[in-house]
Structure 1
Amino acid sequence: MASWTTKDIPDQSGRLAIVTGATGGLGLETALALAGAGAEVIVAARNLDKGRAAETLIRSRHPGARVRFDLVDLASLGSVRDFAERQLTSGRPIDILVNNAGIMALPQREATIDGHEMQFATNYLSHFALTGRLLPILIAGRARVVEVASIAHRSGSIRLDDLEYVQGYKPWPVYAQSKLAMLMFALELDRRSKAKGWGLTSVAAHPGAAATDLIANGPGPGSRLMAWGGSIALKLIGHSAAEGALPQVMAATMPSISGGQYFGPQGLRELKGPPGPGKIEPQALDADVAAQLWSRSEAMTGVTFG
């Protein structure tokens, strides 16, 4: 396992994969890896031009790849609903869902069109809604569902009394909470799948410290110096987006994975290195908080899992 690479991905021919945020960074690298192994890949993201560019890049790397862009804006629950309805209308079972898209550390509190705090909504809440809406065709495909978390979950806590930081907004604690929520979602989805016989394999992964455009896209124009400094630091202590994507690609494709597993880099403090088992912090294992978060998420999105 220590030397696992994209060459170890089993043949994915005939399988359908959806990757959110797949127009750049970890998502694009994940889409490239899956398409290269023969999967049909839906690049799910919000920017049409970047989506077309991602399609072109994937086909240039893997001639004959089956890849298409489909619009979804995770800052809009309506967009999530529309995307899911298109997939349900097609009736095609989903084999792999990688909930990858995310934003990081917006300096000021922003709200989505639905009125939800932007980081919590984009990173976690819309992925919860998307998974719930796709559930019939995920079950039909006995899908592998991968939630992309972060080493930031180590410092995170679920603030049940104010999940959306209406009071005391701080960029990094909000980001950490959103990524802890993603990990807890993976574990709770596994529990519910087993209890209800859905047949899903729900797992999570994190990239360590990967040099992507996430920081540059997060802090915004008022914090360009911080973004630049963060990017330099990542290059010094971390690894590339392609290397950072390996844990989630492993989670999506490696045979004999069990639900509830977590994957990350194997180097010092899981910052970089080849993919393998990741460390789950105790707060992520709190099943009572996870159940409360699930109930709140259903109420906030209007999506139930049946």
Structure 2
Amino acid sequence: MSRTSVNLPDLSGRTAVVTGANSGLGLETARILAGRGARVVLAVRDTAKGERAAAEIPGATEVRRLDLADLASVRAFAAGWKGDLALLINNAGLMAIPESRTVDGFETQFGVNHLGHFALTNLLLEHVTGRVVTVSSGLHRSVNRIDFDNPDLEGRYTPYRAYGQSKLANLLFTLELQRRLDEVGSPVLATAAHPGYAATNLQSRSENRLHDAVLRIGNRIFAQSASSGVLPTVYAATQDVPGAFFAGPTGLFVNGAPGPASRSRAALDTEAARRLWDLSEERTGTTFPL
């Protein structure tokens, strides 16, 4: 599938932040946006890797440090931001890793994939003029609720349960963010996307050799490329879609041209979305600023 599957507008004069942009889907997202004229800020934990990635991207880029596993780093990134921000692409994520904790004591997948982006969005939202796009996953369907009593899954942790919960949280966050934006009459849109089955290094960090080997084989046989996997994200960021829109590949085998994607009933639960927002505010110390 080519990038022409999305009719991209001219993004000259606009600024985009892409988290986790030093490899995989984030790098390809940054490459596409910069190719259409956007000034792209690669928000990355390892700035040396970020600089190497930026050197591969034709167009205007900048590298800034952001560690989503450390709320102090998130606050520092946001505090240093000046000027308008057309697109905030909440892309960075971890998948199916061994149990661990962030600097602030959160289960790492929930902390990085959801809470770090929740805090970043609230801290930057006054600058955002266009859209907040959060990358979820079809595996949000693997869980049917957020464990509000035990969000860190203490005593119940499995790598994929934690991943599924964090990806469900991404969609509930998008739903509640759009409700709040609508409530204050903001023109900003909150959207979400999932890449389908895309071959990236996300599938090789489980620290389980057999698991990683199986996924590497699957990547070679079944997965689409990272450059195709980012098209739903670009679609959600640039096309004429409603608030809380969820984009994904429309092919039978979780690939193909981007378009509207279905989500689970749990991901449409407005009460759970509000409850998650309250929990996230409490854990991150950040609030909706508009």
Deviation track 1:79-130 (CA, whole Å, cap 9, x = no partner) reads 000000011xx2x1110010000001112x2011111111100111000000
User: How far 1:148 sits from its partner (Å)?
Assistant: 0.2
Are the aligned partners of 2:6 and 2:231 in contact in 1 as well (CA < 8 Å)? no
The answer for the alignment partner of 1:31 in structure 2 is: 30
- 1:291 matches 2:274: yes
| Residue number among 210, 224, 236 corresponding to 1:225 in the alignment | 210
The answer for the alignment partner of 1:301 in structure 2 is: 284
The answer for the alignment partner of 1:85 in structure 2 is: 79
Are the aligned partners of 2:88 and 2:131 in contact in 1 as well (CA < 8 Å)? yes
Deviation track 1:227-272 (CA, whole Å, cap 9, x = no partner) reads 1211211332220101000000111112x22111110001115x11
Task: Give the counterpart letter for 2:237 in structure 1.
Answer: A
How does 1:218-297 map onto structure 2 within 5 Å? 218-220=205-207, 223-254=208-239, 256-268=240-252, 271-297=254-280
Q: Could you say what secondary structure the match of 1:233 adopts?
A: helix
Q: Could you say what secondary structure the match of 1:210 adopts?
A: coil
Task: Give the counterpart letter for 2:113 in structure 1.
Answer: N
Write the distance in 1 (CA, Å) between the matches of 2:133 and 2:249.
16
Write the distance in 2 (CA, Å) between the matches of 1:45 and 1:5.
28
TM-score (norm 2): 0.96
Task: Give the counterpart letter for 1:203 in structure 2.
Answer: T
Q: Could you say what secondary structure the match of 1:260 adopts?
A: coil
| Residue number among 69, 79, 83 corresponding to 1:75 in the alignment | 69
Are the aligned partners of 1:4 and 1:274 in contact in 2 as well (CA < 8 Å)? no
User: How far 1:292 sits from its partner (Å)?
Assistant: 0.4
Q: Could you say what secondary structure the match of 1:38 adopts?
A: coil
Task: Give the counterpart letter for 2:277 in structure 1.
Answer: W
- 1:150 matches 2:137: yes
Runs in 1 of length 4+ with deviation above 4 angstroms? Answer: none
Task: Give the counterpart letter for 1:266 in structure 2.
Answer: T
Deviation track 1:51-91 (CA, whole Å, cap 9, x = no partner) reads 11111000xxx2xx11000000011000000000011xx2x
Q: Could you say what secondary structure the match of 1:5 adopts?
A: helix
Question: Structure 1 pair 7/207, CA: closer, same or farther in 2 (3 Å)?
Answer: closer
- 1:57 matches 2:40: no
User: How far 1:3 sits from its partner (Å)?
Assistant: 8.1
Write the distance in 1 (CA, Å) between the matches of 2:183 and 2:18.
26
Write the distance in 2 (CA, Å) between the matches of 1:14 and 1:6.
23
Write the distance in 1 (CA, Å) between the matches of 2:121 and 2:168.
17
The answer for the alignment partner of 1:124 in structure 2 is: 114
Q: Could you say what secondary structure the match of 1:57 adopts?
A: coil
User: How far 1:7 sits from its partner (Å)?
Assistant: 6.3
Q: Could you say what secondary structure the match of 2:12 adopts?
A: coil
The answer for the alignment partner of 1:98 in structure 2 is: 89
Write the distance in 2 (CA, Å) between the matches of 1:5 and 1:235.
23
Write the distance in 2 (CA, Å) between the matches of 1:97 and 1:6.
22
Question: Structure 1 pair 5/106, CA: closer, same or farther in 2 (3 Å)?
Answer: same
Deviation track 1:200-246 (CA, whole Å, cap 9, x = no partner) reads 11100000010000011x302xx123112112113322201010000
Any stretches of 5+ residues in structure 1 without a counterpart? none
Write the distance in 2 (CA, Å) between the matches of 1:225 and 1:131.
36
Deviation track 1:16-51 (CA, whole Å, cap 9, x = no partner) reads 000000000000000000000000000001011111
Taking only aligned residues, the RMSD between alpha carbons, in angstroms, comes to 1.4
Which moves more between the two structures, 151-160 or 96-105? 151-160
How does 1:176-191 map onto structure 2 within 5 Å? 176-191=164-179
Write the distance in 2 (CA, Å) between the matches of 1:293 and 1:161.
11
* Greater fraction helix: 1
Number of aligned residues: 288
How does 1:151-170 map onto structure 2 within 5 Å? 151-156=138-143, 157-170=145-158
The answer for the alignment partner of 2:188 in structure 1 is: 200
Task: Give the counterpart letter for 1:228 in structure 2.
Answer: A
